[in-house]
Structure formats: C-alpha cells, structure tokens
C-alpha cells in the first residue's frame, strides 16, 4: 500500500472505527445497499432502528420487490426524502426481473438501478464485493476538502471533480472494504461539520486546512437562498364512526405516494371550510374546529400547516368511497400506513390542541 493517507486511515480504523453496525453483520449487497440509501442525508443513530425494522420485514431483495408499496412506505415513515423508498423498491424489482435477484458486481450496471449513483454503487462494490471502488459521500467530501484545502461548495462541478480525483488517488487496492468504512467513520466521528476533533485525527499532520488554521472554511457552504413560505389547510375529516379520510398523494413531488390528509386552499377562512369541503369533496360538514398550526421545513421551502377538524353527517361511502387513492380509516389504522412525519404527529397528538413538536 503506497499511499500513506490510506495506511494512516486503516491504522486508525483498526483501533477506533465502527465495526458492529447492523449492516456490518451478514454483509451482502442487499444489506449494504439498503443501509447506503437510508444513510443519505440521515445520521447513523437515526437510521439504525429503521434499518433493523426494515430488514426484519424485508429480509432480502425478493421480499422488498414483492411487498405492497404502502408497506414499504410505512417502514420509511419518518426518515424523509421518500423518493428514496420508492426508488428502493423499483431497484429491487429491477434486480429481481433483470438480474435474477442478484445484485450485479459492476459499477455501470449498479448505477443503472433507480436511486443508485456513482458513490453508492462504489460503496456496494467495496463493502459487499470487496472490489476497489471509489466512494465520495458527504463525510468523505468533508475529509478530503479539508485535507487538500479544496475551496468552494462541493455541489459545484469543478469542486466535485477535484474531490473525486483526490478520492480516487487515495483509494487503496488492498483492504478496500475497511478503507471505505474508515474514511466515512473519520468524517462522522472526528472530522465533523462543527467542532472537529483535529487532535484525534490520523491525518492531522498532512491536513492543509489544519495547517492554515482554516478548518471551518472547508468545505465551502452552499450559497444561501431564502426559502419561500407556503400555507395550506390540512383537513381532519371524520365521519359518524370516527373514521378519518386519507388521500394518497401523487407519485411524484413532495411526499409522493404517501397517504396524507385532504388539503384546502389557504385563501378559505375557517368559516368557509365546510362549504369548501362540500365543493371539493362532495361532503356536507359541520363547523370547522381550528387546531394549532405548525411549520414544516422541506429542502426548498417552508410549509405552514393549519389543521382543522370537521365532521361529516354522511356515512362512509355516501359521497366518497374507498378506492386505491382514498380511504376512511380509524386513527390507529391510519398510522400504520406510510404517512409523512408531520401527518403522523398530527393524527397522534392529543385532541387538546397542543402544538405539535416537529
């Protein structure tokens, strides 16, 4: 091994690296892949319980491919970025249909699967197949940007290309599984975004950012842009039996494919909500009971959610019948579906109208 950075990382990993994470046990391409998708923009501590429950329900690629989409989404509820879950199942179905249920040990074939990019494909090759492959996730970008003082935001093509070149240079031919885990662990445990533990870093002696006392400068931040503010009514519509109307969201866009509450134009006043429900849903409703609203932040805008509870005097099926995209369900039934985290919180918080803590 001729790269001293790789050797120092491996020596550090042998003594300090994480070796008992759930996806390190019974390691195969399926388990590695699911962990890599879950870990995108989500911390390890958050992922672990989701991963363990997911693996219990979907122990192999065939189980995931054949599962009802609602089941998959319900096991993802709370992790966010739900396109990951939809792509996960699409990729599983492709592996079953086109690769006889076995993940290909080839970079380009892996990248052809929905939701798998260059770094994720490389992680599967390195972690599951022990092939030399170069990864560049968020933690690795931070380590390399600081070590080589690569200025600029990694989302910019020129900056990203520099980081890929450094990543490729340092990836060893031996112990590549351990090396990829080591550099990810270093970014997660030592070379952290804020307050990095530079004195404990095995790369401190050659780190250019540390030598310049400019660790906080790297990597460069994404240019800030004010997020727009949006508002919507979320209608908790109950029938005589206490069932709530849920509607499936379109497959693309925010919360795509998940079950949610009917939404109404924020231009309506609370007094106009019964009429709005009749016009849009065909249901005769009583007076609206406005509940405490809250704000939920997406990656590109803030959504002000204003909940309102209404009751309808018609029985189930009188105006709106269950179908593939809408259902009347009791609350305990509803929360078993794939729901966005704010909707789950809204349906499980006490009716005393206390604010939701999101």
- What is the C-alpha to C-alpha distance for residues 189 and 356, in angstroms, rounded to an integer? 32
| Distance linking the first and last C-alpha atoms of the chain | 48
Query: What DSSP assignment string belongs to 54-123?
Result: HHHH--SHHHHHHS-HHHHHHTTTTS--THHHHHHHHHHHHHHHHSTT---S-HHHHHTSTT--HHHHHH
The one-character DSSP state at 285 is B
Kindly report the backbone phi and psi dihedral angles of residue 89, in degrees, each rounded to the nearest multiple of 5, phi listed first. Answer: -70, -40
Query: What DSSP assignment string belongs to 334-357?
Result: HTTS---HHHHHHHHS-TT-PPP-
User: What value does the CA radius of gyration of the chain take, rounded to a whole number of Å?
Assistant: 24
- Going 290 to 294 to 299 to 300, the CA torsion angle's sign is positive
Among 185, 145, 170, CA closest to 13: 185
Give residue for tokens 């106009």.
272
* Residues identified as active-site: 36
- What is the C-alpha to C-alpha distance for residues 343 and 298, in angstroms, rounded to an integer? 14
Query: What DSSP assignment string belongs to 1-16?
Result: ---HHHHHHHHHHHHH
Extract the tokens encoding 262: 């009917």
Cis, bond preceding 305 (omega within 30 deg of 0): no
Give residue for tokens 């990729």.
91
């Amino acid at each position: 091994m001729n790269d001293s950075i790789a050797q120092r990382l491996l020596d550090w990993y042998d003594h300090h690296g994480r070796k008992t994470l759930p996806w390190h046990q019974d390691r195969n391409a399926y388990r590695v892949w699911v962990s890599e998708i879950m870990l995108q923009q989500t911390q390890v501590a958050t992922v672990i319980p989701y991963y363990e429950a997911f693996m219990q329900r979907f122990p192999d690629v065939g189980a995931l491919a054949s599962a009802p989409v609602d089941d998959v989404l319900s096991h993802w509820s709370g992790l966010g970025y739900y396109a990951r879950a939809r792509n996960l199942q699409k990729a599983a179905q492709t592996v079953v249909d086109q690769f006889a249920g076995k993940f290909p040990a080839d970079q380009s074939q892996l990248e052809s699967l929905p939701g798998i990019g260059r770094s994720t494909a490389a992680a599967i090759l390195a972690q599951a197949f022990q092939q030399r492959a170069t990864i560049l996730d968020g933690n690795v970008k931070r380590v390399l940007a600081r070590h080589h003082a690569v200025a600029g935001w990694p989302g910019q093509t020129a900056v990203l290309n520099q980081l890929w070149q450094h990543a490729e240079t340092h990836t060893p031919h031996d112990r590549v599984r351990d090396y990829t885990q080591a550099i990810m662990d270093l970014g997660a445990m030592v070379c952290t975004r804020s307050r990095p533990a530079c004195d404990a870093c095995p790369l401190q002696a050659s780190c250019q950012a540390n030598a310049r006392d400019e660790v906080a400068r790297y990597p460069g931040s994404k240019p800030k842009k004010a997020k727009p503010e949006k508002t919507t009514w979320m209608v908790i519509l109950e029938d005589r039996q206490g069932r709530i109307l849920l509607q499936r969201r379109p497959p693309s866009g925010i919360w795509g494919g998940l079950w949610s509450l009917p939404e109404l134009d924020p231009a309506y006043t609370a007094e106009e909500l019964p009429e709005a429900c009749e016009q849009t849903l065909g249901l005769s409703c009583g007076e609206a009971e406005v509940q405490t609203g809250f704000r939920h932040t997406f990656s590109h805008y803030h959504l002000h959610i204003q909940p309102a509870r209404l009751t309808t005097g018609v029985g189930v099926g009188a105006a709106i019948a269950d179908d593939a995209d809408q259902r009347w369900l009791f609350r305990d039934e509803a929360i078993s579906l794939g729901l966005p985290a704010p909707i789950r919180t809204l349906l499980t918080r006490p009716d005393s109208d206390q604010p939701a803590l999101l």
